[in-house]
Amino acid sequence: MITRRRLLLGAAAVSVAAAGVYVAKPRLGGLLRPTLDTTYPLGILQHEEMRSIAALGETLAAPELAPPAEFFQEYVNAATQSRPGILKEYQRAAVLLNTTGTRLFGQGTQVDFADLPQRRREQVLRALLWQYPGTDQLVRKAEVIVASREALALRMYVMQPLIEHYYRSPFGWAVVGYQSFPGRAQLDPMAYTGPLPDKRPRQ
């Protein structure tokens, strides 16, 4: 059990580390931020690599509004065939997800991230990445110092684009109660006159 004293000490340590990172950021940012290998050729993922990335997309999506696998596959194929260096990052991400899943749950045998249940996939992501509010800039800067290059690249070049792709789609709009992209007129002119759907869980 984590005592209140340990919790406060841990919070203080994170704050001090984050403050140090904030001061050092102008010097370290360019060195620590993962960069793309733009000499790497364009192409598409192998079948097993794509399974891992599609499973990652499913894990990031809202469970009640999960899109079909091809939703993420088509997006990834377009990205890896048009932007130099992105294919390499998706390949690295697939390896990282599988090796971390094997380390956590393999018990001596290889585990594919795509074959893990949702709860264990989330545990893999928690083992790789820090969790913090998007507005917490100090902890975000501290993560850049502490996390591995592979984990930072996973967040930056793979997870963030997949999340943006999802929430710019009808699946993501529906999560927040829209039937069309926010700011665009809906087909039903009366759609804005009614209340938003009740998103509270049923008892």
Mind listing the pLDDT tens digit of every residue in the chain (203 residues)? 444 334 333 444 444 444 444 444 444 444 467 999 999 999 999 999 999 999 999 999 998 888 988 999 999 999 999 999 999 999 999 999 999 999 999 998 999 999 999 999 999 999 999 776 767 777 767 777 777 899 999 999 999 999 999 998 988 888 877 665 555 555 455 554 555 555 454 44
Whether 45 maps to a domain, the answer reads: yes
For residue 125, give its domain range: 40-174
**CA 103/CA 120 separation, integer angstroms:** 12
- What does the pLDDT read at residue 183? 55
Length of the chain: 203
Whether 26 maps to a domain, the answer reads: no
Whether 146 maps to a domain, the answer reads: yes
Whether 157 maps to a domain, the answer reads: yes
CA angle 10/140/85 to nearest 5° reads: 135
Whether 61 maps to a domain, the answer reads: yes
- What does the pLDDT read at residue 196? 54
Cβ atoms of residues 60 and 124 within 8 Å: no
Query: Residue for token digits 């377009």?
Result: 78
Whether 64 maps to a domain, the answer reads: yes
DSSP symbol at 84: T
**Which tokens is 188 given?**
């039903």
- What does the pLDDT read at residue 28? 47
Cβ atoms of residues 146 and 32 within 8 Å: no
**CA 97/CA 112 separation, integer angstroms:** 8
- 87: part of which helix (H) or strand (E)? helix 86-105
Question: Which three-class secondary structure state does DSSP give residue 180?
Answer: coil
- What does the pLDDT read at residue 114? 97
Cβ atoms of residues 34 and 149 within 8 Å: yes
Whether 183 maps to a domain, the answer reads: no
Domain count, the chain: 1
Query: Residue for token digits 């079948």?
Result: 47
Whether 16 maps to a domain, the answer reads: no
